[in-house]
C-alpha cells in the first residue's frame, strides 16, 4: 500500500516570497490534514479536510496561508507571503473516516516538506 506522498522534500525561499506544497493521501482516505512542525516541537494542525470540505481551520493563519483539496483527493498548501517564522516541516496526513467510531483512528503521515525561509 502506497503511503502519503508529499513534494517537494525541501524548499528554501526568501521572506515575502510564495511557496506551495503538494500532498497525495493514501487511496480511499477521506480525511486529510496539514500539520506544521517547528523544530523541537510537536506537530500543530493547520487544517483538516473531510473529502473536499474544511472541517477545522481554526489554527490556519488565513492572512497568508491557504489550502485546497479539489475533488477530495490531492491537496495543496500555499504560503504567501512567507515569513521567517514559517520555517518548519509541513506534514500531510490522511486517515479513514470513522463510522462507527473505533480505536483505529490512525493518521498516516507523509515525510514532510522542510521549508526554510531566509
Which residues of the chain form contacts with another protein (CB under 8 A)?
4, 31, 33, 40-45, 48, 56, 91, 93, 97-98, 101-103, 105-112
Q: Which is nearer to another protein, 17 or 87 (CB)?
A: 87
Q: Which is nearer to another protein, 28 or 40 (CB)?
A: 40
Q: Which residues pair with 117 in a beta bridge?
A: 13
Coil, helix or strand for 12? strand
- Find the shortest distance in angstroms from Cβ 14 to another protein: 24
- Find the shortest distance in angstroms from Cβ 2 to another protein: 14
- Find the shortest distance in angstroms from Cβ 81 to another protein: 26
Q: Which is nearer to another protein, 2 or 103 (CB)?
A: 103
Alpha-carbon 29 to chain mean position = 14
DSSP code at position 51? T
Cβ-Cβ contacts under 8 Å for 102 (sequence gap 6 or more):
none
Q: Which of 106, 95, 108 lies closest to 29, judged by CA?
A: 95
Q: Is 50 exposed, middle or buried (0-12, 13-18, 19+ CB in 10 A)?
A: middle
Q: Which is nearer to another protein, 24 or 48 (CB)?
A: 48
- Find the shortest distance in angstroms from Cβ 16 to another protein: 28
Amino acid at each position: 500500500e502506497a503511503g502519503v506522498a508529499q513534494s517537494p522534500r525541501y524548499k528554501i525561499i526568501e521572506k515575502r516570497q510564495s511557496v506551495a506544497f503538494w500532498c497525495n493521501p493514501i487511496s480511499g482516505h477521506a480525511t486529510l490534514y496539514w500539520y506544521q512542525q517547528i523544530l523541537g516541537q510537536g506537530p500543530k494542525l493547520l487544517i483538516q479536510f473531510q473529502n473536499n470540505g474544511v472541517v477545522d481551520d481554526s489554527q490556519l493563519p488565513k492572512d497568508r496561508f491557504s489550502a485546497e483539496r479539489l475533488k477530495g483527493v490531492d491537496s495543496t498548501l500555499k504560503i504567501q507571503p512567507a515569513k521567517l517564522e514559517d520555517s518548519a516541516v509541513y506534514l500531510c496526513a490522511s486517515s479513514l473516516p470513522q463510522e462507527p467510531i473505533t480505536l483505529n483512528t490512525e493518521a498516516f503521515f507523509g515525510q514532510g516538506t522542510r521549508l526554510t525561509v531566509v
